């Protein structure tokens, strides 16, 4: 190895660092004082001040022009503590510099542990603070700690610890929005950098957290939005591969209210529900979901049966509600078990929107939902027994109700709901109206059945000229149909609907001039405008 003339004769070649080194050892062989290093090309490239041999050792690297390239406090091995600084050079250099925009001239990292820094700063050539992309640093909001840096990419202030060995964040990581409000907090495993906790904020207030546990467990917590400091409102613990979940509710003082545990409630065959660790529901289904379940039971707190389902073995069956002494109280039939398997679910009497305001025991809610369903089934039976007018049947027969598109797959039931809508029994009509909307609209989406039901209602409307209540009900329904945000998605179907409405132009004109009811007038005027717009466009 040829030694450049600028390198002292006593300097020794360092094969590990590929440079020439010169310095002193004490009597015990420990490096002391200032050691110097020279590059292959002969320029002084670094110094380390070992002082009396005890750290911290002051470390410096130099550009070929003699200006500082790097400096920091070295504690031996891979340990650097305090601020480590990188500086660019105006000249060509052999020294590296962290990636960044060209006008980022100085980069500083603050190390608090071996190979882990917890703050980073960027400066331009005039030593003015800038972002990593070289843009001027925005004013730091009062709520943002001094060691946080601003990220142009996310538009947030960021503070965290980076382990340079794995090049990932470790420990706690925080973000603030430009106004200084906390936006998120993450916690990373200190060894692997894997995210183990997540905290979400809204307007600076914690509202949700997720914490990973052993064996794939996940604890999701929801917080009260009007308490400071934050207090948990509901915990949801997911276990058993997320097939089981336990909901725990707390009041604002942190007192436990109640717990609900669902076991295999998703796609499992053996589903269970516990209220305060007491079994309230259990169903066992076969792998063939076209068949009836083997058993379905709801329970009183003492374990006696509250509700059960008994199949007839032919695709039909019956629900039974019992008093706590075992006496049968109510029963209603299930005409199609397939509907429960595919759409409704055998856990139909459970409540899945429980919250801290819920005061009733779950078995009371189960009983209440059964009675509501029973009442609905009674009405449904009345609907099924309603005679169908010939003029309506004529219109219904024009459509294959098993094939027409609908929201919840229940288009085959729409004919009886349309017939019920025409009933002079308000209870029946209201129930059928709700069932119709369930099928023809979902989250602003419309379907072929949306237009077809509207067209049929418009077609049979003249038959109710002598029934003001029914006529008004049908016109209000048509108004709501044509007012759907996406009703124009299917142009051809909408044209057919508009033509069916156009027949009633005079009726709508008369109602639009109604001085006694602003609602009727407004709805009628809107229908007229829809007809007019469609005729103009064609």
In a domain, 496, yes or no: yes
Specify the pLDDT at position 287: 85
Does residue 293 sit in the same domain as residue 419? no
Specify the pLDDT at position 410: 78
Does residue 253 sit in the same domain as residue 346? yes
Domain closes at, from 342, 361, 379: 379
Q: Is 268 helix (H, G, I), strand (E, B) or coil?
A: coil
Does residue 358 sit in the same domain as residue 391? no
Secondary structure percentages of the chain, helix, strand, coil, to 5: 25, 35, 40
Does residue 430 sit in the same domain as residue 455? yes
Block mean pLDDT (10 aa), the chain, length 538: 94 96 96 98 98 97 98 95 97 92 96 95 96 94 96 95 96 97 97 97 97 96 95 97 96 98 88 97 89 95 98 95 97 90 90 93 96 92 95 97 90 96 96 96 95 97 95 95 94 94 92 83 89 67
In a domain, 125, yes or no: no
Does residue 403 sit in the same domain as residue 524? yes
The owner of tokens 């308000």 is: 426
In a domain, 348, yes or no: yes
What values do phi and psi take at 132, rounded to 5? -65, -25
Specify the pLDDT at position 364: 96
Q: Render pLDDT for 384-410 as a digit per residue (tens, 0 to 9).
A: 999 999 999 999 999 999 999 999 877
Does residue 323 sit in the same domain as residue 390? no
Does residue 328 sit in the same domain as residue 465? no
Specify the pLDDT at position 265: 81
Closest by CA position to 234, among listed 223, 226, 225: 223
Specify the pLDDT at position 535: 61
Specify the pLDDT at position 342: 82
Specify the pLDDT at position 534: 64
Report the C-alpha gap between 48 and 229 in whole angstroms. 49
pTM of the model: 0.75
Specify the pLDDT at position 35: 98
The CA angle 331-369-281, to the nearest 5 degrees, is 85
Contacts 24+ apart (CB under 8 A), 500-504: 500/454, 500/455, 500/458, 500/459, 501/458, 501/527, 501/530, 501/531, 502/531, 502/534, 502/535, 503/458, 503/462, 504/458, 504/461, 504/462
Specify the pLDDT at position 437: 97
Domain closes at, from 379, 408, 423: 379
Q: Is 396 helix (H, G, I), strand (E, B) or coil?
A: helix
Does residue 528 sit in the same domain as residue 390? yes
Does residue 372 sit in the same domain as residue 391? no
The owner of tokens 């007491």 is: 278
In a domain, 206, yes or no: no
Specify the pLDDT at position 515: 66
Is residue 109 within 8 Å of residue 131, measured between CB atoms?
no
In a domain, 91, yes or no: no
Report the C-alpha gap between 352 and 340 in whole angstroms. 17
Q: How many domains does the chain have?
A: 2
Does residue 370 sit in the same domain as residue 401? no
In a domain, 488, yes or no: yes
Q: Render pLDDT for 317-364 as a digit per residue (tens, 0 to 9).
A: 999 999 999 999 999 999 889 888 888 899 999 999 999 999 999 999
Domain closes at, from 361, 379, 397: 379
Does residue 368 sit in the same domain as residue 470? no
Domain range for residue 452?
386-537
In a domain, 29, yes or no: no
In a domain, 63, yes or no: no
Does residue 528 sit in the same domain as residue 421? yes
Phi-psi region of 294 (alpha: psi -120 to 50; beta: other; left: phi over 0): alpha
């Amino acid at each position: 190895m040829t030694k450049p003339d600028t390198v002292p004769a006593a300097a020794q070649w360092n094969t590990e660092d590929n440079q020439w080194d010169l310095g002193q050892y004490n009597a015990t062989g420990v490096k002391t004082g200032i050691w110097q290093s020279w590059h292959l090309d002969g320029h002084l490239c670094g110094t380390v001040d070992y002082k009396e041999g005890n750290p911290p050792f002051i470390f410096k690297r130099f550009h070929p022009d003699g200006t500082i390239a790097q400096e920091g406090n070295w504690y031996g091995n891979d340990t650097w503590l305090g601020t480590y600084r990188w500086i660019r050079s105006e000249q060509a250099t052999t020294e590296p510099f962290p990636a960044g925009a060209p006008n980022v001239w100085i980069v500083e990292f603050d190390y608090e542990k071996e190979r882990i820094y917890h703050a980073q700063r960027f400066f331009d050539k005039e030593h003015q603070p800038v972002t990593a992309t070289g843009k001027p640093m925005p004013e730091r909001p009062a709520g943002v700690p001094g060691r946080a840096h601003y990220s142009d990419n996310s538009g947030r202030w960021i503070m965290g610890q980076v382990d340079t060995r794995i090049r990932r964040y470790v420990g706690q990581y925080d973000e603030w929005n430009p106004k200084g409000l906390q936006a998120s907090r993450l916690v990373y495993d200190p060894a692997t950098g894997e995210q183990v906790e997540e905290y979400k904020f809204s307007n600076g207030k914690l509202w949700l957290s997720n914490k990973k546990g052993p064996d794939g467990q996940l604890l999701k917590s929801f917080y009260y939005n009007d308490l400071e400091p934050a207090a948990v409102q509901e915990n949801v613990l997911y276990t058993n591969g997320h097939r089981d979940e336990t909901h725990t509710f707390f009041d604002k003082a942190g007192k436990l209210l109640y717990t609900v545990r669902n076991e295999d409630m998703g796609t499992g065959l053996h589903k269970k529900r516990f209220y305060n660790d007491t079994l309230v529901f259990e169903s066992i289904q076969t792998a063939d979901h076209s068949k009836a379940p083997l058993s379905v039971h709801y329970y009183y707190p003492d374990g006696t049966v509250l509700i059960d389902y008994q199949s007839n073995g032919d695709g039909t069956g019956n629900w039974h509600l019992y008093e706590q002494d075992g006496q049968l109280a109510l029963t209603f039939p299930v005409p199609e078990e397939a509907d429960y398997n595919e759409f409704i679910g055998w856990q139909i009497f459970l409540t899945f929107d429980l919250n801290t305001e819920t005061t009733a025991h779950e078995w009371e809610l189960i009983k209440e939902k059964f009675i509501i369903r029973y009442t609905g089934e009674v009405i449904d039976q009345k609907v099924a027994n309603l005679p169908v007018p010939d003029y309506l049947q004529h219109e219904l027969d024009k459509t294959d109700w098993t094939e027409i598109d609908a929201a919840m797959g229940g288009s085959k039931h729409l004919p009886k709901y349309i017939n019920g809508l025409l009933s002079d029994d308000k209870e029946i009509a209201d129930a059928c109206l709700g069932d119709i909307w369930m099928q023809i609209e979902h989250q602003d989406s419309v379907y072929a059945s949306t237009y077809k039901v509207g067209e049929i209602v418009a077609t049979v409307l003249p038959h109710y000229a002598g029934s003001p209540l029914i006529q008004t009900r049908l016109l209000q329904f048509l108004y709501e149909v044509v007012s759907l945000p996406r009703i124009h998605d299917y142009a051809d179907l909408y044209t057919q609907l508009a033509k069916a409405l156009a027949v009633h132009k005079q009726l709508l004109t008369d109602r639009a001039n109604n001085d006694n009811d602003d609602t009727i007038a407004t709805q009628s005027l809107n229908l007229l405008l829809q007809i007019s717009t469609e005729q103009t466009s064609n």
